[in-house]
Amino acid sequence: MATVDLEKLRTSGAGKAIGVLTSGGDAQGMNAAVRAVTRMGIYVGAKVFLICEGYEGLVEGGENIKPANWLSVSNIIQLGGTVIGSARCKAFTTREGRLAAAYNLVQRGITNLCVIGGDGSLTGANIFRSEWGSLLAELVSEGRISESTAQTYSHLSIAGLVGSIDNDFCGTDMTIGTDSALHRIMEVIDAITTTAQSHQRTFVLEVMGRHCGYLALVSALASGADWLFIPEAPPEDGWENFMCERLGETRSRGSRLNIIIIAEGAIDRHGKPITSRYVKDLVVQRLGFDTRVTVLGHVQRGGTPSAFDRVLSSKMGMEAVMALLEATPDTPACVVSLSGNQSVRLPLMECVQMTKEVQKAMDEKRFDEAIQLRGRSFENNWNIYKLLAHQKISKEKTNFSLAILNVGAPAAGMNAAVRSAVRSGISQGHTVYVVHDGFEGLAKGQVQEVGWHDVAGWLGRGGSMLGTKRTLPKAYLEKIVENIRTYNIHALLVIGGFEAYEGVLQLVEARGRYEELCIVMCVIPATISNNVPGTDFSLGSDTAVNAAMESCDRIKQSASGTKRRVFIVETMGGYCGYLATVTGIAVGADAAYVFEDPFNIQDLKANVEHMTEKMKTDIQRGLVLRNEKCHEYYTTEFLYNLYSSEGRGIFDCRTNVLGHLQQVQGGGARILEGHCLAPSVPALAGHLAVLTPLTRVLTPALQGRPPRLVLLRPQPEGGGGGATPTSPSPLRLLVGGGPAEACCGVSQPDVRAPCYSVRGSSLSAGPACWMPVPRGDPRPPTQ
């Protein structure tokens, strides 16, 4: 917003009226979208109306269409479902129903409509818009409105937000509600895993997805499921034999449970439904395993929205209001979509038509095309699943060895990353070592060769099973070099935060003195602070945001019982304000103090005065977030004293330091970290499927060619530069120009290293060592 004229923006909606409704099946995050549309509309000077019960309320009118103010949408961002109601309306499918709806809108001067729903709801809105002129003409002919009124309200603008837990709408990377549904599924899988292990059971989980297998696919990736059924990719004939063989193999390797995930719309190659009951009976008859079926059903629609859905809905709601304000009679109805990290506007009917093409391709058994039509996110997930789902221990050993270590503070997803790296390496015949206690452990020789079963059960565990320290390698270079030589290590995979990034750069800089360090080094950013240069998000950051968000929700709930109370909450993150900023958006905080946005005593004074005025309204609570190192002098204690003193007699104040609970890994942590900014892909697959093509690149590097440092940095689908993969292989190396090219293609030694960023299923190259460290991140220059 720094480049926007705020004063001009505040008056850009003057004289306009916006109606917002939710239609079709409910999805977590709809309330956040309603809140964003309402408050953004009020901010720009427009009138905002809440249309209750979807199109049914639009047709019936009356009390179903009511004006909204700032307080109307207070304290709803954390609620699931939709507080304004949703309904499937048959009347709106008729012209008589749409005529009544048009009359109700004109009576209130509403010519801008924001529709939150699925493709059916959005299609209905577009039909309504296309008929608007004729509907007004009919109302004039019936004498219900005047000719001048019809001319005044001659144009209806439509902006759509896609609310669907299935993520079945083409044109957007993620729909509102999908991430929260994935959280519910992962919570169930975590709960089922414990009982399944206790009794050595097989569980068949049926998840929603009548025509789209996104939920099943991503949850299978995130949970390491043994088998998956989705409608877009029916199994080949004879799948029963392959599945039973697979389940038997996992049990013979020591596994105590099997998990099979099936989308409710799963079919075979001939269009015959594959039901959870049929799969269960098959396992019992063929293998004799104790098998249970769990149908998740509407549990997936319920519960609190995740941080990602809250932020996504807020961004989309704001963009929808701007789209309505900028619309002209010639502008087609648009849908606000997510492309990479950006909210974009796309023609509504083009996206709807593309969505219908997917179903048509499936009906005509063009399944490969159906997967492509689903979009890059879905196709990338499917390719990664095929790469990782059925790994086996290679019978042929290579002379390539890989060492894996964790560096920095613990972060959710570290163990899943180690597990996937270990098994990916072993499946290709490589020798895989794990190093305990980071670089310090590497210096002390705490190196251990691991096998397939050594990392069993690591997928859902929080913290770091290997142990992690912040120690940098500079003080131990000679011992580290000695152990690299002793164990004949050909590559280092370092999983950690800024310390991992900085530590590997120190090793790269020492290559001129130690030839043993002329090996390939790869960094996977894993830190709750999300402060590693060159990446939009890190492993652990999304889980930390959700942990902080859930804590703040409970704190707000506490305040509802104690009137006139302000809570000051301190988040972690060092000098990086990511946690405080995103959590602040997700919980609707009154203020968030971060290092990147300098503030002074005048800003604090204005915030205290705002809080004082707020206590005069019906909302008698306040929430202020503070990043732990946002200011040298304005500490949490200082803010507490300031708010307590200035609010004396008006409100009281309490402090909460969230601390290390932000490092706790919850059930949803195995879904791709950084969900607040990117499409949903499991962390283990999104990062470490890269290991397969990476090792292919590494092999020539061991034949005398100078290796390079690699930073695997996950980035959003479609965001920024980078080419779109055209190769049929799951992963493709995209190399930037200049002296820093692929590690197997450089003819001259060069200490400058390329940085490979993950874009879905592709790698794009950029200079890692040339990246500037963000302002104040992660530590002052004196250190």
- CATH fold label, 401-539+667-767: Rossmann fold (3.40.50)
Between strands 157-162 and 334-339, the pairing is: parallel
Tens of pLDDT along 497-547?
Answer: 999 999 999 999 999 999 999 998 999 999 999 999 888 888 899 999 999
Q: Quote the crossing angle between the two packed helices 178-199 and 214-223, to the nearest 10°.
A: 50
The answer to whether the CB of 106 falls within 8 A of the CB of 136 is: yes
Domain ranges of the chain: 6-175+306-360, 178-301, 401-539+667-767, 547-662
Q: Chain-centre distance of CA 96, in angstroms? A: 42
Question: 237-255 as b/e, with b when 16 or more CB fall inside 10 Å?
Answer: eebbeebbebbeebbeeeb
Nearest-angstrom CA–CA distance, 516 and 478: 10
Show the beta-strand stretches assigned E in 383-475. Answer: 401-407, 431-435, 447-449
SS3 220: helix
* pLDDT score of 432: 95
The phi and psi torsions of 361 (rounded to 5 degrees) equal -65, -40
Unique residue bearing structure tokens 């503030």 = 599
Half-sphere CA count of 51, side-chain side, radius 13 A:
27
DSSP for residue 333 = P
42 Cβ contact partners less than 8 Å away, ≥ 6 residues apart: 48, 68, 69, 70
Domain 6-175+306-360, CATH among 3.20.20.80, 3.40.50.300, 3.90.79.10, 3.40.50.450: 3.40.50.450
- Parts of the chain with a pLDDT under 70: 1-4, 664-783
Q: Do domains 178-301 and 401-539+667-767 have the same CATH topology?
A: yes
Cis before 700? omega within 30: no
Q: In terms of C-beta density within 10 A (0-12 exposed, 13-18 middle, 19 or more buried), how is residue 634 classed?
A: middle
How far is Cα 375 from Cα 478, in angstroms, rounded to an integer? 49
Return the bridge partners of 733, or none.
763
**Alpha helices of 108-213 — where are they, by DSSP H?**
119-130, 132-141, 147-152, 178-199
Task: Please give the torsion angle defined by the CA atoms of residues 406, 412, 416 and 418, in that order, rounded to the nearest 10 degrees.
Answer: 0
Residue 166 annotated to the active site: yes
Domain 547-662 sits in CATH at 3.40.50.460
Catalytic residue (one of 5, 26, 119, 166): 166
The answer to whether 164 touches 176, Cβ cutoff 8 Å, is yes
Contact 617, 532 (CB under 8 A): no
Query: How far lies 337's CA from each of 542, 721, 771, in Å?
Result: 21, 19, 30
178-301 homologous superfamily: Phosphofructokinase domain (3.40.50.460)
For position 664, what pLDDT does the model report? Answer: 66
Q: Sign of torsion, CA 739 741 744 745? A: negative
SS3 track for 584-613: HHHHCCCEEECCCCCCCHHHHHHHHHHHHH
DSSP-derived letter for residue 151 is: H
Q: pLDDT tens across 596-632, in order?
A: 999 999 999 999 999 999 998 888 889 999 999 999 9
Can you tell me the distance from the alpha carbon of 502 to that of 474, in angstroms, rounded to the nearest whole number? 10
Quote the CA–CA distance of 710 and 729 in Å, as a whole number: 21
- CA distances (Å), 714 to each of 379, 571, 724, 754, in order? 17, 24, 15, 15
Q: What strands lie across the sheet with 565-571, from one edge to the other?
A: 591-593, 621-627, 565-571, 652-657
Distance CA 108, CA 652 (A): 42
Whole-angstrom Cα distance, residue 62 to residue 437?
Answer: 66
Task: Say which residue the tokens 């040339």 belong to.
Answer: 770
